[in-house]
Structure 1
Amino acid sequence: MGRAKVGLVPLVLLGLSHRTAPAEVRDRHTVPQARICDALRALGDYGAINEAAILSTCNRMEIYADVADFESGIAQIKEFLTTYRSMGVDDFDKYLYTMLGAEAVEQLFRVASGLDSLLVGEPQIMAQVKDALRLGEEVGSVGPHLARLFRVALQAGKRARATTAIGSDFVSLGAAAVEMARRHCDVAAASCVVVGAGKMGSIVAKHLSARGARSIVIANRTLKRAQAVAAELGAQAVGLEMLPDIVHHCDLLITAVGRGSLITADMLQSVGAACRPQPLLIIDIGVPRDVEPAATHLPGVVLYALEDLREVIDQTLSGRRAQIPAVEEIVSAHVGEYIRWYRTRGAAPLIASLKEKAEQIRSAEIEKLFARIPELDEHQRQLVIATSVSMINKLLHAPVTKLRESAARSEAVDEAALVQTLLDVDAFSDRLQRQLDARTAPLFTNAKDA
């Protein structure tokens, strides 16, 4: 499948998300923000990939690529995933989805509009789509095709949030984690530890404080940052090196760092042996996961991860889900707009060919006219030339419009046949000659009188 035919959208999407892959698989294949630029450069080394962008978040990893042809493009992206991300064949078969053309366009627009998020309508995805575009443009892996695609996706997301209630009553992962904790323990009587003092950790701490937690300890790699958050809430701040000690003295631990096995099963091994009235409740919302999965099987430990929050989220977002049909209409409209733009863009070479042929006719008719009226001075000749250019533009308006409309409707166009159909050379030449004669008659009369 090549690009010679107008109308094809040579876009490939390969990805995995919370809908297709469990957390441990997503953790394994998440592309850290610091490595996305290197990954894009590596993708650029593949011959079938003309443009590429990577959207990597806590719940998805998607590669969008403008390709020379679908078959080669898919094969080379899979090769990239195998070599650069160590993705095995089993992961391809079980978790990876592939979308082509308009389907891939629609997926990005659904993502930007919040329809494909774990938290429907969540606002962070807009910034993440914008970052994917920015990084691609910085590296040079995003060209005019993907740049337009991502910008229209952002327009769709902005319109969805401005004209519907898809983003109303926003519930963050941090709030959902605290709600999950409330369902399994008495937060007001709990000694709580929050691991991470970033944006998500701060949200968790504030929600715990709002629910009247008995005590809150904030553990962070940078103690100064933990102290700043703790000061607002009357909490205690410690460094991460204190984790092995404090996990044994808390009732609830919520972690939101995303460093991968920050809290090991060995660290929690002795929790079950301690005389505790209730098990230690751990809620891990880090991506990658902060708590080693083996901790799930430890006595005295109850561990919940990101995917376990789905029920809490679904119940909280029932009102927002009522907005989905309206947002889907917005997505559909923007997909149609983008497809029409791409197909019209594909007609550009044909329009150039049409204009080139018309210019040849114009030049030939001007030479014949000047041969018939040699007495015209230089000023008069320039007036005739300017008039002929204006005539050409008017005569071309209808066929160029027809060509754009044909390209927007069609999947394939025969260039030679279309130019011949839209521009009948003999008829075009006759029309131009008649109009030139009518416009230059006064000049001819003036020249004779002189």
Structure 2
Amino acid sequence: MSVLVVGMSHKSAPIDVLEHASLDVDAAVKLSHLALETPFVTESVVISTCNRVEIYVEAERFHGAVEEVSRLLAEQSGLDRDEFVRHVYVHFDEAAVAHLFGVASGMDSMILGESQILGQVREALHSAQAESTVGSALNALFQQALRIGKRGHAETGIDRLAPSIVTAGLDAAGPVVDGADTRFLVAGAGTMASLAVRTLIDRGVEPHRIMVANRTYQRAYALVATFGVSAVRWQALDVELSAADVLISCTGASGVVFDRDRIADAAGGRPMSVIDLALPRDVDPAVRELEGIDLIDLVVLSEAAANAELAADVRQVQTIVESEVRTFLAAKAASHITPTVIALRTMATDIVAAEQARIESRLPNLTDDERADVRKALHRVAEKLIHAPTVRVQQLIDGPADLTYADALADLFALDQSAVDAVTRVGESS
């Protein structure tokens, strides 16, 4: 059994492709269940965020699983095969483990080191647990990834660029965000919207200057109860938009919510900062053409992130990830070896019992003491033969990757190398 990940992210695909590929909660759950219906797949977890969609599976066979899982992801994304193949990536076993650990630590994020991804990985695992699509293998992998993500943030300064995409967006908007009279409109009431409101309040924005609008008013009102902000019904969105200095949009809609004309009418020629954190995009990119309108979307944020200089912290996190990958794989290998060692000992015990029965049947006149001596001799021989392999197999877990089968046998049974060489020379001379 091996772990496999198939996905695409801001690193492999442009934003407009990711818009098509992104999955809402229901679609992610559906994909996870569909994966379990395919041959060779026993567990699945789907991570779907504003800049990545990935499905992790525990698979019995690589080729069969990657074919089926890729097909399902392509169908769910709505992309044609050529477009999908051009932007998808596949990681298997060690590479898949390293990829997830890198994702959880913020190393693969659009905003390098952002901590929001850690919560998104946790939500993906919780969803898989609730849907019973995850088992012991992926559960252990994801739990370790979460621990590594926390460790990376605790031990390095990787997140000093921006703790989240929300913070990066607000920073990019400039001084207007910290203005004493700036009015904010948050469109949406999901996880990203909640994070936006919390971040604004943490920056010192007074709750009465934050308005939340959502198609489902009850969800918007939940933020009122939590943070003390104000809420408006979706039907009154344009009225509040006309009074806002900063729009933060993260609705989760399937298409454009704020087109060029809508923003132009609301701004009426005055300056406005528009922060679009949604994927698919909530705001038409043509809004950028309007005079006085500063549009900050995921394209802008990814360009800003590409210029970040966190070389020392990146190397430190990479070292942590590489070390944790080795530790995780060694523990996984050990868990597979233990049953093998038990089976080896069981086989030896069975052979001893069979040989003892054969000897006693052929030599019925043996005394009890003689039978005991035979039994002890057989056990000693078996124990000496399997002692070295059961000890050395644990040491070989971290052995060289190029170890041959012959090398392994010689090492497992602690064979005298001079004896092996002598046999080799005889074989070659003949």
TM over 0.5: yes
- In structure 2, which of residues 187, 212, 220 is the aligned counterpart of residue 218 of structure 1? 212
The verdict on how the C-alpha distance between 1:299 and 1:401 changes in structure 2, with shifts beyond 3 A counting, is same
Q: SS at the partner of 2:158?
A: coil
The verdict on how the C-alpha distance between 1:160 and 1:249 changes in structure 2, with shifts beyond 3 A counting, is closer
Q: CA deviation at 1:110?
A: 0.8
The verdict on how the C-alpha distance between 1:227 and 1:294 changes in structure 2, with shifts beyond 3 A counting, is same
- In structure 2, which of residues 75, 79, 87 is the aligned counterpart of residue 83 of structure 1? 75
The verdict on how the C-alpha distance between 1:387 and 1:256 changes in structure 2, with shifts beyond 3 A counting, is farther
Q: CA deviation at 1:261?
A: 3.2
Q: CA deviation at 1:75?
A: 1.8
- In structure 2, which of residues 348, 364, 371 is the aligned counterpart of residue 358 of structure 1? 348
Which deviates the most, 335-344 or 306-315? 306-315
Say which structure, 1 or 2, has more relative contact order (CA 8 Å, 6+ apart).
1
Larger radius of gyration: 1
Which deviates the most, 34-43 or 197-206? 197-206
Q: CA deviation at 1:366?
A: 5.1
Indicate yes or no: 2:237 matched with 1:243.
yes
Give matches, 1:269-308, under 5 Å.
269=261, 271-272=263-264, 276-293=268-285, 295-296=287-288, 301-308=293-300
Indicate yes or no: 2:178 matched with 1:178.
no
Give matches, 1:54-203, under 5 Å.
54-167=46-159, 171-182=163-174, 187-188=179-180, 190-203=182-195
Q: For each residue in 1:142-170, what CA deviation from the matched residue of structure 2 results, as whole angstroms up to 9, or x when unmatched?
A: 34433333233233223333433435686
* Structure 1 residues not aligned, in runs of 5+: 1-8, 425-450
TM-score normalised over the length of structure 2: 0.76
* Structure 2 residues not aligned, in runs of 5+: 416-430
Q: CA deviation at 1:33?
A: 2.4
Q: CA deviation at 1:242?
A: 1.0
For 2:156 and 2:285, the matched residues in 1 are separated by 39
Aligned residues: 407
Q: SS at the partner of 1:66?
A: strand
Q: For each residue in 1:30-60, what CA deviation from the matched residue of structure 2 results, as whole angstroms up to 9, or x when unmatched?
A: 2322333321221122213343322222221
The verdict on how the C-alpha distance between 1:130 and 1:237 changes in structure 2, with shifts beyond 3 A counting, is closer
Q: Structure 1 counterpart of 2:110, which letter?
A: L
Q: SS at the partner of 1:322?
A: helix
For 1:187 and 1:34, the matched residues in 2 are separated by 39
Match of 2:419 in 1: none
The verdict on how the C-alpha distance between 1:173 and 1:387 changes in structure 2, with shifts beyond 3 A counting, is farther
Q: CA deviation at 1:374?
A: 5.1
- In structure 2, which of residues 25, 28, 51 is the aligned counterpart of residue 36 of structure 1? 28
| C-alpha contact 2:49 2:120 (8 A) present in aligned 1 | yes
For 1:413 and 1:297, the matched residues in 2 are separated by 64
Q: CA RMSD in A?
A: 4.2
Q: For each residue in 1:114-173, what CA deviation from the matched residue of structure 2 results, as whole angstroms up to 9, or x when unmatched?
A: 211223333333333333334444545434433333233233223333433435686333
Q: CA deviation at 1:309?
A: 2.4
- In structure 2, which of residues 305, 310, 324 is the aligned counterpart of residue 334 of structure 1? 324
Q: SS at the partner of 2:58?
A: strand
- In structure 2, which of residues 254, 257, 262 is the aligned counterpart of residue 263 of structure 1? 257
Match of 1:309 in 2: 301
| Identity percentage of aligned residues | 28
For 2:332 and 2:120, the matched residues in 1 are separated by 24
| C-alpha contact 2:113 2:163 (8 A) present in aligned 1 | no
